[in-house]
């Protein structure tokens, strides 16, 4: 296997790996908080579930970019495209925005969701206003990382 193709594979792996780590840590933080609340207030299951699931989107963004990389190198179409060392480096670099943005935003979104869960337990009317809206603000940066990776893969790499 040539080095360019190996770098492209590493890029696909890093996009999923880093964003998935951020999502899983964020889900763990929010899930621990919700579990404590639900033991006393099971009627808040719907809102708690929404706040726990929000950090999972970063992992999805990383997976989608990985699939785009695999499409770019024609992994699913039979014979893979030849990937030069420079193209491999470009693909690897293009995977980093979604991976790094997903890693950090997933963790911090989990923390914000955990705080929103605590707030919703005390003041349910504020759960969506503060918990979900604040978590969505962090989501914006994961979307920016996704967008940059997407544009680099489809426009920046020839």
Among the listed ranges 31-35, 86-90, 97-101, 154-158, which one has the minimum average pLDDT value?
Answer: 154-158
Do the beta carbons of residue 46 and residue 122 sit within 8 Å?
no
pTM attached to this predicted model: 0.90
Residue 62: what pLDDT? 97
Query: Can you give the CATH number for the domain in which 74 is found?
Result: 1.20.120.610
Q: Which residue stretches of the chain are H helix?
A: 3-38, 45-53, 57-72, 85-122, 126, 133-151
d(CA 110, CA 116): 10
Tokens 């996009």 belong to 15
Within 8 A by CB and 6+ apart from 24, the residues are 59, 106
Percentage of the chain exceeding pLDDT 70: 99
Q: Which residue range forms the structural domain that includes residue 98? A: 3-156
How many structural domains compose the chain?
A: 1
Q: How confident is the model at residue 102 (pLDDT cuts 50, 70, 90)?
A: very high
């Amino acid at each position: 296997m040539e080095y360019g193709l190996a770098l492209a594979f590493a890029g696909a792996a890093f996009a999923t790996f880093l964003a998935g780590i951020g999502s899983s840590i964020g889900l763990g933080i929010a899930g621990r908080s919700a579990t404590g609340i639900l033991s006393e207030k099971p009627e808040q299951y719907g809102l708690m579930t929404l706040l726990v699931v929000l950090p999972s989107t970063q992992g999805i963004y990383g997976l989608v970019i990985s699939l785009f990389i695999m499409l770019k190198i024609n992994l699913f179409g039979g014979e893979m495209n030849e990937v030069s060392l420079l193209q491999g480096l470009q693909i690897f670099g293009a995977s980093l925005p979604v991976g790094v943005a997903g890693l950090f935003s997933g963790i911090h979104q989990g923390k914000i969701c955990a705080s929103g869960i605590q707030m919703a337990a005390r003041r349910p009317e504020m759960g969506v206003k503060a918990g979900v809206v604040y978590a969505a603000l962090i989501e914006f940066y994961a979307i920016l990382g996704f967008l940059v990776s997407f544009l680099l893969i489809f426009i920046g790499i020839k």
